[in-house]
Structure 1
Amino acid sequence: MGWEVRMSNSRNVPYFFNEETSSSSWEPPAELSKEQVAQLPGAARYLSGGGGGAPAPTASPGQVRASHLLVKHRDSRNPSSWKEKSITRSKEEAIEILRGFQSEINDDESKFSELAGKNSDCSSYRSQGDLGFFRPGQMQKPFEEATFGLKVGEISDVVSTDSGVHLIMRTG
């Protein structure tokens, strides 16, 4: 099996780590039942919500949870991603791409997650854009301000940061 539950230092939420493959996931391994997940090393310490199923992290006071869809451009602080070694598009082109995603999403949370999982230039694409919980001061200011200004379930308009342009969905 090789799986165990660990706590993320940066997000302060549990994740699943496979010692054998050195792979990690925010979601429980698909090949494991809820009962097997509950028996993993670290499960009793880090997973909440009872039943031993998926992690049910809760926010500490002052924290929010969000997902995002990032499109980088050539002026981003790191103009490369898992999809493209060297990103050459302009900021305006990145915004245009994001606007296309925005019209496709049309306030549909599951569509947001699907598109973030396929298209985000952030490594969070692996978890459909989920960034977990964070508190003030952990994200770039424009991202933080937009996220804290949303209600749970709301999706932002285009937000520009040094990382690129984002759509943000507040999830907690």
Structure 2
Amino acid sequence: MKDKFANSSKADAGLPSGWEVRHSNSKNLPYYFNQSQQLSRWEPPPGTDTDKLKTYMAEHHSAPEIRPDAGGPNGSSANNGKIRAAHLLVKHRDSRRPSSWREAEIKRTKEEAMSIILEHESRIRSGQVTLGNLAVSESDCSSARKMGDLGFFGKGDMQKEFEDASFDLKPGQVSGVVETASGLHLIERLE
């Protein structure tokens, strides 16, 4: 039986010639590798068919569920003031790094990104979909592969706007749109 994280062919993933998807054991995330050039990168290379890549990544490199045991063995009491959150990120062309696993070059305006994330927020709040399930295919963060789960973090670990919004939430709550230098976020506090 083939391993779920086996290397993909470019036809499967929509990558340009010479590129493949590999899995980083240290970060537990997929990355892009070009054997002939000995290059690796977290974002897809230029020339990627992002629609094919999005489908491939959702099928082969997504966590089936957020694991409740992903943090400390005794839950939040053992996390020394840290919380656990997931997010869905929509980047725009003025974001700090206007590229993602979904798109090699993000060209949408901030206004277009706001329209997209407000639609995502509407779907989440209506109960149509969970933030985690939507993040798998729609988030511009590599945490999409883990349903947006960022794991545990404490004060000073994240951008201030993101941190403030996360710590203001109770477990199970979803924020409104939060703007950082990275783009526009919806945040769900998990623990």
Gaps of 5+ in 2: 1-21, 30-66
Query: Which residue matches 2:105?
Result: 86
> Partners of 1:109 and 1:65 in 2: how far apart?
23
- Cα distance per residue 1:24-73 (max 9 Å; x no partner): 648xxxxxxxxxxxxxxxxxxxxxxxxxx984422422101000000000
Q: Would you say 1:114 and 2:133 are equivalent positions?
A: yes
**Amino acid paired to 1:129:** G
Name segments (4+ residues, structure 1) moved above 6 Å: none
* TM-score, normalised with respect to structure 2: 0.61
> Partners of 1:63 and 1:158 in 2: how far apart?
22
State the 1:111 CA deviation.
Answer: 1.7
Q: Give aligned-pair identity as a percent.
A: 50
Does the Cα contact within 8 Å between 1:67 and 1:171 map onto a contact in 2? yes
CA 157–54 in structure 1, closer or farther in 2 if over 3 Å, else same? closer
Query: Which residue matches 2:155?
Result: 136
**Amino acid paired to 1:171:** L
Equivalenced residues, count: 129
> What's the RMSD between the two structures over aligned residues?
2.6
> Partners of 2:134 and 2:149 in 1: how far apart?
12
CA 75–152 in structure 1, closer or farther in 2 if over 3 Å, else same? same
Determine which of 153, 157, 162 is the counterpart of 2:172. Answer: 153
Query: Which residue matches 2:71?
Result: 57
- Cα distance per residue 1:84-140 (max 9 Å; x no partner): 111111111111100000111116496211100111000000000000000000000
Query: Which residue matches 2:88?
Result: 69
Question: Matched residue of 2:130: which SS?
Answer: helix
**Amino acid paired to 1:57:** G
